[in-house]
Amino acid sequence: MKLGETGVARINGYLFVLGRSLRSFLPIETAKDAVREIEAHIRERVDQVEGQPDERAALERILEELGPPLRVAQAYSSEMAVDEALATGRTGAMARALWHLATTTARGFAAVVGLSAGYLSALALLAIAVLKPIFPRNVGIFAVDGVPRSLGAIFPAPEGAEVWGGYWVVPIALALGLALLVAMHRSSRRFLGWWRARNGSGRSAEAAP
């Protein structure tokens, strides 16, 4: 299908809004590259329309299937962030990808809440390992009347509470904390891999539900 001036203007308007939306998530140059890629996709779809259809109706159908510009921008930027995280495995890239999914998708938000709890638990265990030699009377298992009440660091220690655990707490907390960090990192990669497989193997301009 050959587009007239009205059709060209409609595509340009869509791409303008898309570009503004993409710049909310991506660097300017990356957003420009994304707009060019999506423009090429739209024009390819237009070229595949055969015969002499109603230009406006055919073009609106293509753009409707593509999705609103904001949703397209969210999906595109999410895919880029996840691809980088899976390709590099770096902690920073993983954090950016998870944060992006958490702020743009309901499943991402739920997953990040669960993963954050695991990461915080790991950091808490590592903090116990670091603080125990410094504050031996404030770190460990706190028991009241012989009944364990809590594990961690408390300043000041509760009145009448007994601290269980000597310096052997340090290697145990350190080992558990590191093991949990590794487990959370692997779980994060598995979640991102699942999300990427669910949304296709190629760059998509359609928003994820």
How many domains are contained in the chain? Answer: 1
Q: Is residue 81 part of a domain?
A: yes
Alpha-carbon torsion (41, 42, 47, 48), positive or negative: positive
Q: Is residue 30 part of a domain?
A: yes
Q: Is residue 9 part of a domain?
A: yes
Q: Is residue 48 part of a domain?
A: yes
Indicate the pTM of the whole model: 0.71
The boundaries of the domain holding residue 52 are 5-105
The pLDDT tens digits for 74-83 are 888 888 899 9
Mean pLDDT for each 10-residue chunk of the chain (209 residues)? 84 93 88 91 86 81 90 88 91 91 89 94 93 90 85 82 87 95 95 86 43
The pLDDT tens digits for 136-184 are 888 988 888 888 888 888 888 777 888 888 889 899 999 999 999 999 9
Q: Is residue 191 part of a domain?
A: no
Quote the pLDDT of residue 201. 46
Residues of the chain above pLDDT 70, percent: 94
Q: Is residue 151 part of a domain?
A: no
Q: Is residue 27 part of a domain?
A: yes
Quote the pLDDT of residue 7. 85
Quote the pLDDT of residue 205. 40
Q: Is residue 71 part of a domain?
A: yes
Residue 3, burial from CB neighbour count under 10 angstroms (0-12, 13-18, 19+): middle
